[in-house]
Amino acid sequence: MAAPKKAAASTPQDKTDGGSPPEFTREQELKALRDMLLIRRFEEKAGQLYGMGAIGGFCHLYIGQEAVVVGMQMALKQGDQVITGYRDHGHMLATGMEANGVMAELTGRRGGYSKGKGGSMHMFSKEKHFYGGHGIVGAQVSLGTGLAFANHYRGNDNVSVTYFGDGAANQGQVYESFNMAELWKLPVIYVIENNRYAMGTSVSRASAQQDFSKRGASFNIPGMQVDGMDVRAVKAAGEEAAAWCRAGKGPFILEMQTYRYRGHSMSDPAKYRTREEVEKVRHDQDPIEQVRNRLLAAKVSEADLKAIDAEVRDIVNASADFAQHDPEPDAAELWTDIYR
């Protein structure tokens, strides 16, 4: 398999024509719409509950970035692993984890995926091959590389999809992981979710090399820039990267050029960018509206699309109700899975 060519750069603010991505079937468009809507509505509800005081601690919302994880999941197969940082609710839902369990963990209830002890940034599901949100910036990159090493050691053809952001891309352990992954030809896709502001500083001020697809160049790791606001482009890039890894070629870097509409966390007023900038991205490139518009053009009725949204809202509302009425964990649970 020849090394893939790097796609033309594309940012939410300055989109360039890198060619049209492969078209989706009607069924793929409908699935992408539903999956992204589930994440969007879930995160909107989580923001509401945080404002009401039902969710404490840190809470980082994924609104605007939905196409990245949904497109990547469409490119993967059963057994592939996912690991990410603290902006993780969308990844959980995309891997098939239940909204009830995720929301209950946010509110610290016993029905949560970590039994109410992990909160927003620390949930896991071995069944869904989701190996966590991680609160320490960049910590998951070395762990995701370890998952790929396990696949390599066992001789299977599973791929570890390791997500991190533009801010985490400057962490030292990222490059140690790159070096080992290329030396050992590990099957890991490093997905850099470049939402352009890290915790609140523009990449133009924080990164000497702003083309994150080139971050593996000194390790001979190929990379590609992807329009992370278009779920079709994400899926196509994910399939290419996964094929590279499964062929024993080693790691691959995908820079997803995306954009978060909310602040870094719920405590961030996001004064480092203008309201006009956010609204322009929402209007021009919203990942959900892109799919919705294509479906309408394909003669899917407005009523059918509203029905999908209504179904998703019902799921999310039910999860919020469950998360507020499920009992808190018993005090005896404090030591479970902590000390033996």
- In this structure, what are the phi and psi dihedrals at residue 78, rounded to the nearest 5 degrees? -55, 130
Chain-centroid distance, C-alpha 332: 34
Partners of 82 in the β-ladder:
130, 161
Is the model's pLDDT at 5 over the cut of 50?
A: no
Percent of the chain with pLDDT over 70: 94
Beta strands in 21-137 (DSSP E): 81-83
SS3 30: helix
Model confidence pLDDT, tens digit, residues 124-149: 999 999 999 999 999 999 999 999 99
pLDDT at residue 62 greater than cutoff 70? yes
Q: How far is CA 323 from the centre of its chain?
A: 23
Q: Are strands 223-227 and 188-194 parallel, antiparallel or unpaired?
A: unpaired
Report the phi/psi class of residue 103: left, alpha or beta, with left for phi > 0 and alpha for psi in -120 to 50: alpha
Tell me the per-residue pLDDT of 71-129, one tens digit each, with 9 for 90 and over: 999 999 999 999 999 999 999 999 999 999 999 999 999 999 999 999 999 999 999 99
Residue 249 and residue 220 in contact, taking contact as beta carbons nearer than 8 Å: no
**H/E stretch holding 70:** helix 66-75
Q: How confident is the model at residue 18 (pLDDT cuts 50, 70, 90)?
A: low
Whether pLDDT at 9 is above 50: no
Nearest alpha carbon to residue 58 among 113, 108, 130: 108
- Please give the C-alpha separations between residue 169 and each of 7, 101, 197, in angstroms, as whole numbers: 20, 30, 12
SS3 assignment, position 164: strand
What mean pLDDT, rounded, does the chain reach?
A: 93
Contact, 144 vs 172, CB < 8 A?
no
Of 236, 227, 284, nearest in space to 258 by CA: 227
223-227: strand order across its sheet: 81-83, 160-165, 188-194, 252-257, 223-227
Residue indicated by tokens 């570890």: 160
Coil, strand or helix: which one is 141?
helix
Phi, psi of 226 (to 5 degrees): -135, 140
Residue 268, pLDDT above cutoff 60? yes
Higher pLDDT, 254 or 15: 254
Which residues are registered as beta bridge partners of 147? none
pLDDT at 15 over 60: no
E strands within the chain?
81-83, 160-165, 188-194, 223-227, 252-257
Number of other CB atoms surrounding residue 155 within 10 Å: 6
Binning pLDDT at 50, 70 and 90, where does residue 335 land? confident
Confidence of residue 340 (pLDDT cuts 50, 70, 90): low
Question: Where residue 339 falls among pLDDT bands split at 50, 70, 90?
Answer: low
Does the predicted TM-score (pTM) go above 0.85? yes
Scan for tokens 């197969």, then name that residue: 77
CATH of domain 24-319: 3.40.50.970
Measured in degrees and rounded to the nearest 5, phi and psi for residue 309 equal -65, -40
Residue 6 has pLDDT above 50, yes or no: no
